[in-house]
Amino acid sequence: MLFNNPFAEISVLVPPQLMQVFVIFMILMVILGTLLDVINKKNVKYFFKNAKKAKQNAERELSGSEKASVIFKTISSDILTTSELGAGKRRMAHLLGMYGTILFWISSVVMIFCYSSISLDTPIVWPILWHIGACMTCIGGFWFWLFLRVDVYAEAYPWYRIIQADLFILSLLASALLGIIWSFFQSIAIYGLDNLFFILFALSNIVLFGGVYWSKFAHMFYKPGAAMQKNLAEADGSMDNLPPPADAPEQFGLGIKREAPKHY
């Protein structure tokens, strides 16, 4: 199973060209959904307006090298390692899901565009990365969904309560899990079930990439920009238009330190 390229096996029924067109169509759906999100929710307009206001409140002007240093630190720390989440379970689940999804998507694209034919030999590394990525996505995603969500962990809602904002995580988990099940049935040659789960796998991807406008998918593009703006605002003294942090001594006992932080 781990060494099997499921896209090559299914090419007997589904032409490689059709799979490639499907991937391109999903990419276009992401672009269209993100553009609609930008236009209707005006997120980018808010960022530019906030950045302009912050520039007026800046205490000093950053040089090009200083800006580059802040951006590099933001990418290497806040984005690639999600350091803003601290060193706890939430960060670990997020990293598993993020890097698992990246491996899953990249290896899918490579196998579909380069090795989606039964007559081609797929380098063993790509099926391994595909399965590992799918497993990492499931581990991180289900860990987050069942135990670490804010409304479950801090607000005592049941884990099965679903709202529109959950569309992204649920469709992503469905895609990864159905992909694993499809590959498993294909590897043990249970014909019929493997085709059924391939169809379900394709449908889950349509929901995932076609539902960008209604889910939190587009937030993946906004968060890096917001993190950079926040760190640049701290460096130039504008503090993102917020008051400076208080340096007064603690006077009221333990306060929020009475319990471990879990309210996000």
Residue 126 lies in a domain: yes
Query: Is 211 part of a structural domain of the chain?
Result: yes
CATH at 212: 1.20.950
Distance from C-alpha of 96 to C-alpha of 225, rounded to nearest angstrom:
22
Q: Which domain holds residue 28?
A: 6-56+63-236
- Alpha carbon separation from 163 to 144, 149, 157, 203 (Å, rounded): 15, 12, 12, 20
Mean of pLDDT values over 201-211: 95
The answer to whether 225 touches 189, Cβ cutoff 8 Å, is no
Is the pLDDT at 254 greater than 70? The verdict is no
Q: How much is the pLDDT for 264?
A: 47
Q: CB under 8 Å to 85, separation ≥6 — which residues?
A: 91, 94
Residue given tokens 């607000």 in the structure block: 155
| pLDDT tens-place string over residues 2-22 | 888 999 989 989 999 999 999
- Is 114 inside any structural domain? yes
Cα(87)–Cα(160) distance, rounded to whole angstroms? 27
**Residue 25: count of CB within 10 angstroms of its CB:** 12
Average pLDDT (70-87) is 82
Number of structural domains found in the chain = 1
Q: What is the pTM of this model?
A: 0.82
